[in-house]
Amino acid sequence: MSILITGAAGFIGFHICKRLIEKNIKVVGIDNFNNYYDVNLKKARINLLQKISKPKNNFDLINIDIVSKEELLKVFEKYKPNKVINLAAQAGVRYSIDNPDAYIQSNIVGFSNILESCRYNCIEHLIYASSSSVYGGNTNLPFSESQGVDHPVSLYAATKKSNEMMAHAYTYLYGIPSTGLRFFTVYGPWGRPDMALFLFTKAIIEDKPIKIFNKGNMMRDFTFIDDIVESIIRLLDKPPVPDKDFKKENPNPASSWVSHKIFNIGNSNPTPLMSYVSAIEKALGKTSRKVFLPMQKGDVEATAANTSKLEDWINFRPNTSVEEGVKKFVEWYTEFYK
C-alpha cells in the first residue's frame, strides 16, 4: 500500500502525512513550496516528517507543481500509488480577489492533471479537498450537502465547486471512486499564518491590535486538525459506492448513481468570532487590542456544518472544543517561535 499526497508541506497535508507515516504506510508527498506564506514553516513541517520516517524509510518528497502534467504523470508512473489525497491548491478567499490566475492554474488546471493521472493509473480511491466556501450566499444553517451550491461569492469557492463537478465526471467516465471534503475553518498546531488564529496569536503576543471584520458579528464552525485527520484516515478505506436509490428525475446534490460522494467536515458547533478571540486571550493569559472593521469582499457572515452524513459513513464525529484546540495551538506556537 502506498498513498500519494499532494500539498504535503501544507497544514492539512503535513498532518495527514505524519499520521500515515506513523502507521507504517508508504507515503509519497508532492509540494511546490510556493511563497503564498512562509516557506520556512513548510520546510520545518517536511523536516519533521523526514525525521519521523527515517527509521522506516516510508516517506518520499517530490518537489513539483501539479500544474505540470508531464512531471505529475512521471511521479504516478514511478511510485504507482494505490490511493491519492489531493490537498494541493491555492488557498485563501481574500487572496483570490487580487490573484485570480493563481486559482485557475492550481485549482482548475492542477486538479485536472490529478484526475488525468488517476485515470491512467487505476487509483482505488481519490480523496480531494473542497471547501465550506462553496455554500457561498446560502444562509440556511447548518449547511447540508443536499443544499445547492450555485451561488459562490469568491473565485476560490467557484474553483472548489468546479473540482466537485470535475471529479464526478471522471468517476462517471472512468470509474475512479472519489470523495470530496468540504472543510470548515480548520485550525491547530502547525497552522497557516494567514488564518485568524495565527494572526491573532502573533499580534497579541507582540502587543499589536487585531483586525476584527464585520465588527465581530461573525460565526465559524472551527474544526480542529486532529478531527480532520481522523476523518480522512477512516475515509481512505471506505471509498464511495453508487446510491441505488438515486433518482435522476429528482437529483439529490448529496448523492449520486456513481461512486462519488461529498462530505462536510466541521465541528457541528459554530462559535462566534468574539468567543474565539476570548479563547485565544485565555490561552495566552493576555487581553487583545481590537480594531473593528467592515466585512471584506468574498467573506460570509456565518458557517455551520451538518456532519450527519459523514458520521453515518465513518462512525466518527469531529468534536474537539474550541478551548481545547486553541490551547494546543498556542502551546505549539510559543514553543515553535520561542
Give the C-alpha separation, 290 to 313, whole Å.
Answer: 42
Q: C-alpha angle 233/235/236, rounded to 5°? A: 70
Give the C-alpha separation, 288 to 220, whole Å.
Answer: 20
Give the C-alpha separation, 254 to 307, whole Å.
Answer: 12
Residue 261, all three cell numbers: 460522494
Going by the DSSP 8-state scheme, the letter that residue 215 receives in this structure is G
135, 156, 170, 276: which is the annotated catalytic residue?
156
Beta bridge partner(s), residue 140:
none
Q: Whose grid coordinates read 508541506?
A: 9
First to last CA, the chain: 39
User: Quick check: is 156 catalytic?
Assistant: yes
Looking at residue 318, its pLDDT comes to 92
H or E stretch including 119?
helix 110-119
**What is the DSSP code string of 144-176?**
-TTS-----SSHHHHHHHHHHHHHHHHHHHH--
Closest residue by Cα to residue 243 from 168, 161, 153, 184: 168
pTM of the model: 0.96
Looking at residue 1, its pLDDT comes to 87
Domains and CATH numbers, the chain: 2-191+222-268+305-319 (3.40.50.720)
Give the C-alpha separation, 306 to 263, whole Å.
Answer: 9
Going residue by residue through the chain, which has 338 residues, state the pLDDT in tens, using 9 for 90 and above.
899 999 999 999 999 999 999 999 999 999 999 999 999 999 999 999 999 999 999 999 999 999 999 999 999 999 999 999 999 999 888 888 888 999 999 999 999 999 999 999 999 999 999 999 999 989 999 999 999 999 999 999 999 999 999 999 999 999 999 999 999 999 999 999 999 999 999 999 999 999 999 999 999 999 999 999 999 999 999 999 999 999 999 999 989 999 999 999 999 999 999 999 999 999 999 999 999 999 988 888 999 999 999 999 999 999 999 999 999 999 999 999 99
Residue 144, all three cell numbers: 447540508
Looking at residue 299, its pLDDT comes to 86
Helix axes 11-22 and 225-236, enclosed angle (nearest 10): 60
